[in-house]
Amino acid sequence: MTSLRADLRLAWELTRGSDRGEWWRVTLTAAGAALATGFALTAVALASLRGWRHVPVASGLLNEPGTRSGVIAGLLLLLVPVLGFLGQCARIGAVHRDRRLAGLRLAGATPWQVRRIAALETGLACLLGSAVATVFSVLFLLRVWDRPTALTWAGIALVAVAVPLLGAAAGALALRRVVASPLGWVRRVGPPRTGRGPGLLFLAGVVLVGVVTLLAVLGTSPVGANQPHAGPPLTMAGVVLAAGAGAVWLSGAVARATGRILAVRARSAAVLIAAERLRDDPWAAARTHAAVLLVTIVGGSFMGVRAVILHHLHSGKPLAAGPDYYLTGLDLTGAALAVAFAITVSGLAVGTAESLATRRRGLAAQVAAGVPRAVLGRALLLETALPLAPAVLLAGLGGSAIAASYALLGNGAFPWAAALLPLAVYATCLLAVTTSLPLLDRSVRPGELRYV
């Protein structure tokens, strides 16, 4: 306990002493924690409601327990990209502060202590964002709900404490492969990633869906006779696991294949540098690219569902609820997808900045050897553009196919915006990568060669 208290005090002092170049990382981390807290607090407040309740927002969409459950599930799914974003902020913070961490090693700190201190810095930034989001959420809750239950207050307190802890845990998990040496290096150790993990998770998800489906066909509950409705949650868990792991595996496989092909056929220095980087570590940005693919598929599917629902609303047929009920549901779903995409693009920008910070000594050596900075800038863009293009195209085709099937079944017109969505996603991702180009100019300074 004494050691943890000392590490926490040291993390606080390091956070206070951060220069202007590091405060943007603290700001991004706090913003991510604020989003996670807002999502979790909303889910907790909705989960504390029992039975039919009149909720004075969302046009009655939150009155029924069934629709509330769907909204809660969507809010919890949004926590996944936020926690990944926090982990990326922790990694880039570690490589930016490598000399300071090396000083801790010279003072006698172990590699685990260095990682723990860096993770605690992430936790403190998360605490700031969580506190701000909690205050505003409580004020809004008291405005729309006169007497929140004791269960609601307990959930709010739990979330306010859990988000900083999860942020610190995500930081520690992200830094598990980072080792700071007393001589000023921060490097990744261990064998290179092979992609077997995502492949095994994909197979596990497929097996889970298959087993649940088989038991449903045979009329047997996957949990027990007293829980006949346990099948759908398990099926959804298997689908989410298979889709997420499959997207990660697809992204890494495309990057590796692209690097191998272009390394042989490259006719320019920028393409050759990007191809060698992809071939050396094709799984570096697989998680972020996988999130882009999932958003593209889900976004295209949502456009198909939206077109069908709007077609029925405008057809004049009798509906179970008023038009505002369905329009609010569509608006909330679209807003959730927009937030998920914004988090994903932000994670892509932060991941690119992390890659530059990690390789800055090698980049400085290339510039010193005569490689123009413009070539390195084009190579940086190509590292994302080359593997992402076929993957986004495939994801766009999948989303368009789902949208077309919904339009066909619902007798609605095909939403041509779903076909243009991959182009918009691809262009936005490239714009996000260009935000890291100013960091490239600072990363190739000759002074970095002193630490090689």
In a domain, residue 432? The reply is yes
Contact 209, 183 (CB under 8 A): no
The reply to whether 177 and 207 lie within a common domain is no
Query: Can you tell me the distance from the alpha carbon of 217 to that of 227, in angstroms, rounded to the nearest whole number?
Result: 16
Query: Can you tell me the distance from the alpha carbon of 216 to that of 231, in angstroms, rounded to the nearest whole number?
Result: 7
Q: Supply the pLDDT for residue 20.
A: 60
The reply to whether 164 and 274 lie within a common domain is no
Query: Can you tell me the distance from the alpha carbon of 255 to that of 227, in angstroms, rounded to the nearest whole number?
Result: 44
Residue range(s) defining the domain that contains residue 404: 197-451
The reply to whether 176 and 203 lie within a common domain is no
In a domain, residue 188? The reply is no
The reply to whether 147 and 205 lie within a common domain is no
The reply to whether 166 and 274 lie within a common domain is no
In a domain, residue 205? The reply is yes
Residue 87, CA atoms < 13 Å, CB-side half-sphere: 20
The reply to whether 214 and 118 lie within a common domain is no
Which of the listed residues 133, 153, 183 is the one where a domain comes to its end? Answer: 183
The reply to whether 420 and 277 lie within a common domain is yes
> What's the token pair of residue 67?
């629709």
Q: Supply the pLDDT for residue 220.
A: 55
The reply to whether 345 and 306 lie within a common domain is yes
In a domain, residue 189? The reply is no
> What's the token pair of residue 345?
């693009």
In a domain, residue 207? The reply is yes
Which of the listed residues 183, 214, 234 is the one where a domain comes to its end? Answer: 183
How big is the chain by its Cα radius of gyration, in Å? 24
pTM, to two decimals: 0.77
Nearest to 386 by CA among 218, 268, 235: 268
> In whole angstroms, how far apart are CA 215 and each of 218, 367, 428?
5, 61, 43
In a domain, residue 385? The reply is yes
Contact 252, 286 (CB under 8 A): yes
Query: Can you tell me the distance from the alpha carbon of 117 to that of 122, in angstroms, rounded to the nearest whole number?
Result: 9
Q: Supply the pLDDT for residue 229.
A: 46
Which of the listed residues 155, 183, 211 is the one where a domain comes to its end? Answer: 183
Q: Supply the pLDDT for residue 174.
A: 63
The reply to whether 275 and 323 lie within a common domain is yes
Q: Supply the pLDDT for residue 224.
A: 46
Q: Supply the pLDDT for residue 233.
A: 56
Q: Supply the pLDDT for residue 123.
A: 82
The reply to whether 108 and 214 lie within a common domain is no
In a domain, residue 191? The reply is no
pLDDT mean values, one per 10 residues, the chain (452 residues):
69 66 76 89 85 74 78 81 75 60 70 75 86 92 82 89 83 62 51 65 77 70 46 60 75 83 83 85 76 85 82 71 78 86 87 78 82 87 88 85 78 76 92 86 69 50
When divided into structural domains, the chain yields a total of: 2
In a domain, residue 147? The reply is yes
- In Å, the largest CA–CA distance within the chain is 75
Q: Facing residues of 169 across strands?
A: none
Taking residue 98's Cβ as centre, other Cβ atoms within 10 Å add up to: 21
Nearest to 174 by CA among 182, 184, 166, 162: 166
The reply to whether 272 and 325 lie within a common domain is yes
The reply to whether 241 and 275 lie within a common domain is yes
